Amino acid sequence: MLFLWLYMFYSCAGSCAGLTTRGSPAPPRAAPPLPPLLPGEPGEESSLEEQRAAPDTGSPISSFFNGSGTKRLPQAIIIGVKKGGTRALLEFLRVHPDVRAVGAEPHFFDRNYERGLAWYRDLMPRTLEGQITMEKTPSYFVTKEAPARISSMCKGTKLIVVVRDPVTRAISDYTQTLSKKPDIPTFESLTFKNRTTGLIDTSWSAIQIGIYAKHLENWLLHFPIGQILFVSGERMISDPAGELGRVQDFLGLKRIITDKHFYFNKTKGFPCLKKAEGSSKPHCLGKTKGRTHPDIDQEVVQRLRDFYRPFNMKFYQMTGQDFGWD
């Protein structure tokens, strides 16, 4: 009888809001179209195959008795934004003993959805009762199908968006691309459809990602605003413990990550961990983070600030937060 009960229990593990992970996911509800995005630049992360968890070869019963935990669908997802500080947030959160997260970006809800929820769940780390499973894929925020797909998985999923001054974010995005493709056109030439008229090219993904209010409207069709936490990329640098406190509260976690976990690295220009997860040594994000930005024509920077201002004001109203970008 005990073994029968255990089998039934683990057959249901990993489900959320009545949706089991066996078979194909339920068809997503249609989402209103957004203007097409240019393909995003490849991420800085290791490949999924390099970082994904080892296959679950043990039976549910043996997993129960050896205390290794269970693979579950994520209860919280960092959905954006690219070059906003998502990697830093994830690394900081992994210090918490009640947070388990995938290291690589699964890209399930944008690139791999046809693989099904069972495939997605298998990527997740094993968790014990009371621990939170998380993942982060910044491109979800600008993927029109992602809100409906995540809602179909679990309407109660908590969402985290790390936002940053959209002008600085665009320059950082360009800098990342430039490091891989040194022969690309200048930032200034890519910014405008016509520089003489000052018409901004919103089809360029580096520009479009920063129109946060437009993307958020799509998410609010499927999730209440209170289910989305907006983290300031700037405050992640100036006050990491303060922002991590808000995140821990949002996730329903005890405030374990505090000032004592951070030190400011003057060379990189951002906070680093005194001790990373599973290590007794200090840890800073790799060389791909904190790159020196190229010098950009200040007239172009000002035109971008003027372009983003009304979108920023709307975003402040929608979120109830003033991020101080103007």
Q: So which residues are the catalytic ones?
A: 83
Task: Please indicate if the annotation marks 83 as binding a ligand.
Answer: yes
290 is in an annotated binding site: yes
Is 85 annotated as a binding-site member? yes
Residue 45, token pair as written in the block = 């992360």
DSSP state of 68: -
DSSP string, 97-155: TTEEE-SS---TTTTSGGG-HHHHHHHSPEE-TT-EEEEE-GGGGG-TTHHHHHHHH-T
Is 293 annotated in some ligand binding site?
Answer: yes
Alpha-carbon Rg for the chain, nearest whole angstrom, is 21
- Check whether 86 is labelled as a binding-site residue: yes
The residue count for the chain? 326
Distance from the Cα of residue 122 to its chain's centroid:
19
268 vs 290: CA distance, rounded Å: 6
**Which position has the token pair 């797909």?**
149
From 2, 301, 276, select the one nearest 169 (Cα to Cα). Answer: 301
Q: 292 among the known binding-site residues?
A: yes
Integer Cα distance of 297 and 244 in angstroms: 35
Q: Which of 203, 187, 179, 209 is nearest to 82 (CA)?
A: 209
Asked if residue 289 belongs to a known ligand binding site, the reply is yes
Residue pair 190/201 in contact (Cβ under 8 Å)? The answer is: yes
Give the list of residues 6+ apart from residue 40 with CB closer than 8 angstroms, or none: 82, 139, 205
Tokens read off for 320? 């109830």
Nearest to 266 by CA among 235, 240, 290: 290
| Annotated binding-site residue numbers for 3'-phosphoadenylyl sulfate | 83-87, 164, 172, 289-293
Known binding-site residues equal 83-87, 164, 172, 289-293
